């Protein structure tokens, strides 16, 4: 049953736990993909595509899971989960890969993270 009081404003705990769950799921999926790449003859050229797919899947699953029991603003909760997830990845990339460049692709990543999370949050609220 959905709680009536939790839908009136943003639930920051749900957002932060959604982001945390997305990173845990990402780690598990990357380990699985690493094993697949190691034991098969799949080209390493597929890695960037796997990264995008794993990130989108992690945001979507976490967004749905985090918004299942809220009444309103599921789209915003999910969107913020996606936006924070991508923002944290970009910040980590800034420190871990100093030669990384940021530009239009950074904006596209942020928008796509928000959009995937927004759709997942809307789905989760309506489940």
Residue 88: per-residue pLDDT:
95
pLDDT for 36-94, tens place per residue? 989 998 888 888 899 999 999 999 999 999 999 888 899 999 999 999 999 999 999 88
Note whether residue 1 is domain-resident.
no
Q: Whole domain around residue 29: which residue ranges?
A: 10-125
User: Is 33 exposed, middle or buried, given 0-12, 13-18 or 19+ CB atoms closer than 10 A?
Assistant: middle
Give the range among 1-10, 63-72, 114-123 with minimum mean pLDDT.
1-10
Dihedral (Cα; 108, 114, 119, 124), 10-degree rounding: 150
Residue 4 lies in a domain: no
d(CA 113, CA 87): 9
Mean pLDDT of 13-35: 95
Give yes or no for residue 101 having a pLDDT over 80.
no
pLDDT at 72: 87
In a domain, 3, yes or no: no
**Number of domains making up the chain:** 1
Alpha carbons 124 and 127: distance in angstroms, whole number: 5
Mean pLDDT in residue range 18-29: 96
Q: Where does 42-73 have alpha helices with state H? A: 47-66
In a domain, 53, yes or no: yes
Average pLDDT rounded to a whole number, residues 91-109? 86
Task: Kindly report the pTM of this predicted structure.
Answer: 0.87
Helical residues (DSSP H) of the chain, grouped into ranges: 12-39, 47-66, 74-96, 104-125
Alpha-carbon span 58 to 45, nearest angstrom: 21
For residue 35, the model assigns a pLDDT of 92
Average pLDDT score, the chain: 89
């Amino acid at each position: 049953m959905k709680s009536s009081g939790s839908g009136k404003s943003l639930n920051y705990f749900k957002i932060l736990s959604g982001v945390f769950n997305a990173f845990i799921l990402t780690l598990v999926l990357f380990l699985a993909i690493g094993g697949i790449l190691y034991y098969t003859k799949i080209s390493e050229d597929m890695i960037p595509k796997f990264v995008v797919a794993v990130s989108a899947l992690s945001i979507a699953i976490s967004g749905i899971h985090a918004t299942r029991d809220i009444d309103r603003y599921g789209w915003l909760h999910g969107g913020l989960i996606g936006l924070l997830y991508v923002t944290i990845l970009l910040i980590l990339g800034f420190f871990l890969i100093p030669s990384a460049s940021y530009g239009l692709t950074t904006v596209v990543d942020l928008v796509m993270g928000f959009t995937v999370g927004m759709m997942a949050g809307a789905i989760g609220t309506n489940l």
